[in-house]
């Protein structure tokens, strides 16, 4: 089994798609007026309008209500990404190294979902990611 995608439900899908296109430097493909995908090398980020929730079960998802999931993207140069984005996103925290060895910063998307960009900084972290 592999993780294929993460789907976000958005009150304003156009704004969310534009935000993630800016963050990821990739264009989204709109597969329907209420659904878009940004395909990356590891998985796909899907963005669906609130109306898509009813396709599963009415009330089973809510835009802007995430309190437990964080989106994390591994980057080649965390310092360059921080400089590129620091004035374009709502920062949660500046650059710092986490106890598990990743250098990271965090911000929120337009719906309030926490997003982290990171790169392995310590030798142990680099070894861990090289083995994947």
Q: Which of 15-29, 56-70, 91-105 has the lowest mean pLDDT?
A: 56-70
CATH of the domain at 32: 3.30.720.120
Q: Which of 59, 87, 109 is at the close of a domain?
A: 59
Neighbours of 71 (CB within 10 A): 17
CA-wise closest residue to 115 among 101, 123, 105: 105
Structural domain includes residue 64: no
User: Same structural domain for residues 46 and 76?
Assistant: no
CATH of the domain at 128: 3.10.180.10
Residue 41's φ and ψ, nearest 5 degrees, are: -70, -25
Tell me the percentage of the chain whose pLDDT exceeds 90: 81
Structural domain span for residue 79: 69-132
Tokens of 43: 């998985």
Contact 121, 97 (CB under 8 A): yes
The dihedral of CA 72, 73, 77, 79: what is its sign? negative
Segment 70-75 mean pLDDT: 95
CA-wise closest residue to 15 among 28, 31, 25, 4: 28
Which pTM value belongs to this model?
0.91
Report the distance separating Cα 127 and Cα 42, nearest Å.
19
Segment 3-24 mean pLDDT: 96
Query: Has residue 71 got a pLDDT over 90?
Result: yes
- Kindly state the DSSP code that residue 61 receives in the 8-state scheme: -
Q: What pLDDT score does 85 carry?
A: 98
């Amino acid at each position: 089994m592999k993780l294929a995608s993460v789907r976000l439900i958005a009150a304003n899908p156009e704004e969310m798609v534009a935000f993630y296109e800016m963050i990821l430097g990739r264009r989204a493909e709109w597969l329907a007026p209420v659904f878009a995908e940004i395909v990356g090398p590891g998985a796909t980020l899907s963005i669906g309008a609130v109306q898509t929730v009813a396709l599963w079960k009415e009330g089973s998802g809510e835009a802007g209500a995430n309190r437990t999931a964080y989106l994390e993207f591994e980057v080649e140069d965390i310092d360059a990404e921080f400089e590129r984005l620091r004035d374009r996103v709502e920062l949660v925290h500046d650059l710092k190294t986490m106890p598990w060895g990743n250098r990271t910063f965090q911000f929120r998307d337009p719906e309030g979902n926490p997003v982290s960009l990171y790169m392995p900084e310590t030798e142990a972290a680099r070894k861990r990611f090289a083995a994947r």
